[in-house]
Structure formats: structure tokens, C-alpha cells
């Protein structure tokens, strides 16, 4: 047989996916990058010597899907040079950096990563709550600072079991928080955009009423125009002097100046914060308060959550390119 007549299987052409990120945000680690590129043809404008706009213009006709890493904004203006874009895959649980109405008007579907992060973020929320109530971080500083032999006694902590916990946002993360705190013997109630028929916990139509009937508020909701500074001074006063606020959502869910004032003046009992109004800039007034626990937006940063994120990204993209149902669509 003539060698020229042999069947030669051409390598399968990989689906094209655009990476959208701020120049200061590194593309995922090499292993993550390599694995993505084994599934998709990745276009990253920041890796090209070509000007950004020129790069997008040259590839625009072939870009139907993009992955956005970090807080890089996706606005109506950004979408204009991408006329064939149909899918935005966010690598965060929150999508406040994405103009959802602009995407909807273009028929662009948005997915997020809340499924991938839910368990680890819930673990962190519960850890922050236990730390605040039992004063664990303060106790650690007490021992390391060699104050134990000098002061002899340390303030009493508080029991977690039996606390009334109000969850703000009963999505995938809020549901995992509820599951964990129910096991501790806490009573759970929630507020959300809508009452969820599949959730048996008491529903409150507004956060002020929820705060009035709660010892703890755990913030798990997305940041939207409706939830911006949803926790204001009035909500804090409704929560009361022994109330605790845990925030693993977004910093701007809370009126931060009012929170600082309430904590400094003893108008609420404590707080556990993983997020802040200005990323990387926690209020210095909180640094000396033993009833406040601060973490650097690290609720999602575990190897397990990053592996789950990779699997979720691939699942959503493969479903999209195969015309199958997406895994984690952001509801309108």
C-alpha cells in the first residue's frame, strides 16, 4: 500500500478560550495553566507582545468563551469588541465585577465558582465564629506574649452550641454553613433574595428582623446593588451588644465605618472578617481588639478548593462546547 494513502488522524482542534485578567494578576500556577491548555486553546492577551486591543480584534471572531481570573471587570464596554462571546466563566463565587445586565442583554451566560468553594468557605466561616466566641487568637497572643505567668487569668469565652445564627444568603456557601452550625446545636434562620422552598429553616424577608432574632449573622451573599452595605448601623443595633458578625462574602456588604465604631464602642460583641471594603486594607482600629478575628481573604485558599475550581472550570467549558447543560450558572 502506498504510504501516501495511509489514514492519518489529525490532532483534534482544541476549543478557543480567552483569559481575562488584570495585568497585575498572574495567570494560574504553571500546573493549573498546563492542565487548562491540555483541554483548551488558551488566549491570554497579556502574554502577547501585540497591543491588547489589536490582539482582541484579531481573535474576536473565534472567541465564544472566556475565563475571568480575579477581579478583572467585565463591563458593557469590554464586551463590545467580542461580538461572538457566549459564555463568561468566573473563577470566584462573587460576580460583582461582572456587568450581569450587559451580559443578559447580549445573551451571554455567566457561571461562577461557588460550588467549588462552598465547603472550604463554610469551614472558614465556622472557624472565624469559634475563634471569636472562644477568643482563640487572643489566647494564642496571650501565651506567646508570656502574659500567662504575669496575669494568671484569661477572659471567659462563650459557647457556640445553642446560638441563634442568621445566615445572609442561603446559596451553596450559606447552605454549607447551616449544615455545619446545625451540627453544633445552633438554631438557624436565613434571609435571601427569595424564600427557598427546599430549605426548612425559618425565612426572614429582611435582614433587620433577622438580626433582631439572632445572636450571630454570617454573611455569605453576593454583592449586588441590593446587598451593598446591607449590614448598616441599624442592623448592628438590632443584633445587639453580644451579637457577632462573620463576613466571608464581600467587604462592601457591611458599612465598614459603622462596624468599626460599633466594635470600638462595644455596641456589638465581636466580628470575624475575611473580606474588607478595600482589599488588603483592614481597618487599623480593629487590630487591638481581642473580640475581632481578621483573615486576609483566604477562605477559599486551600489546595482542595483550587482542584475543585479547576474541575468546575473544565466542566462548564466542556459542557458549553458540547451543547450540554452548564454546571454553575449564575441566576438572573
| Burial grade of 99 (CB within 10 A; 0-12, 13-18, 19 or more) | buried
Amino acid 6: pLDDT:
46
User: Count of CB atoms within 10 A of residue 282's CB?
Assistant: 20
Class for the domain spanning 117-294: alpha beta
Establish whether domains 12-115+302-321 and 117-294 are of one fold: yes
CATH of domain 12-115+302-321: 3.40.50.720
Separation of alpha carbons 190 and 199, rounded Å: 9
Catalytic positions? 250, 279, 297
Amino acid 4: pLDDT:
47
Looking up cell 453544633, which residue turns up? 184
Judged by phi (left if over 0) then psi (alpha if -120 to 50, else beta), residue 146 lies in left
pTM listed for this prediction? 0.89
Scored b (16 or more CB within 10 A) or e, 69-92 reads beebebeeebbeebeebebbbbbb
The answer to whether 321 and 15 are in contact (CB under 8 A) is: yes
Q: CB within 8 A of 21, min separation 6: which ones?
A: 27, 44, 46, 68, 69, 70, 72
Please, which residues bridge with residue 68 across strands?
20, 90
User: Domain spans of the chain?
Assistant: 12-115+302-321, 117-294
Amino acid 78: pLDDT:
94
Q: What is the mean pLDDT of each run of 10 residues along the chain (332 residues)?
A: 47 87 74 86 92 92 94 93 96 91 96 93 98 97 94 92 97 96 98 94 97 98 93 97 97 97 97 95 96 95 92 96 95 70
Amino acid at each position: 500500500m502506498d504510504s501516501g494513502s495511509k489514514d492519518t488522524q489529525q490532532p483534534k482542534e482544541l476549543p478557543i478560550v480567552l483569559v481575562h485578567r488584570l495585568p497585575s494578576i498572574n495567570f494560574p500556577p504553571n500546573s493549573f495553566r498546563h492542565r487548562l491548555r491540555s483541554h483548551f486553546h488558551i488566549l491570554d492577551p497579556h502574554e502577547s507582545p501585540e497591543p491588547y486591543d489589536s490582539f482582541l480584534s484579531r481573535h474576536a471572531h473565534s472567541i465564544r468563551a472566556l475565563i475571568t481570573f480575579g477581579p478583572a471587570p467585565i463591563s458593557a464596554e469590554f464586551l463590545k469588541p467580542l461580538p461572538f462571546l457566549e459564555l463568561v466563566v468566573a473563577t470566584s463565587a462573587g460576580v460583582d465585577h461582572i456587568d450581569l445586565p450587559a451580559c443578559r442583554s447580549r445573551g451571554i451566560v455567566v457561571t461562577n465558582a461557588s460550588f467549588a468553594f462552598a465547603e472550604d468557605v463554610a469551614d472558614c466561616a465556622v472557624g472565624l465564629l469559634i475563634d471569636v466566641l472562644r477568643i482563640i487568637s487572643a489566647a494564642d497572643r496571650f501565651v506567646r506574649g508570656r502574659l500567662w505567668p504575669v496575669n494568671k487569668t484569661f477572659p471567659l469565652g462563650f459557647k457556640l452550641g445553642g446560638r441563634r445564627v442568621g445566615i445572609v444568603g442561603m446559596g451553596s456557601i450559606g447552605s454549607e454553613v447551616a449544615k455545619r452550625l446545625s451540627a453544633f446545636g445552633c438554631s438557624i434562620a436565613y434571609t435571601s433574595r427569595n424564600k427557598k422552598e427546599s430549605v426548612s429553616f425559618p425565612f426572614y424577608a429582611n435582614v433587620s428582623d433577622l438580626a433582631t432574632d439572632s445572636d450571630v449573622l454570617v454573611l455569605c451573599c453576593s454583592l449586588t446593588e441590593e446587598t451593598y452595605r446591607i449590614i448598616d448601623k441599624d442592623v448592628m443595633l438590632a443584633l445587639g451588644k453580644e451579637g457577632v458578625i462573620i463576613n466571608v462574602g464581600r467587604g462592601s456588604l457591611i458599612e465598614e465605618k459603622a462596624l468599626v465604631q460599633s466594635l470600638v464602642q462595644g455596641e456589638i460583641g465581636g466580628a470575624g472578617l475575611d473580606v474588607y471594603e478595600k482589599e488588603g486594607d483592614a481597618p487599623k482600629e480593629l487590630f487591638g481588639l481581642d473580640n475581632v478575628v481578621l483573615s486576609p481573604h483566604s477562605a477559599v485558599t486551600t489546595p482542595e478548593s483550587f482542584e475543585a475550581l479547576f474541575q468546575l472550570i473544565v466542566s462548564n467549558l466542556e459542557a458549553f462546547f458540547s451543547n450540554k447543560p452548564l454546571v454553575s450558572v449564575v441566576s438572573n
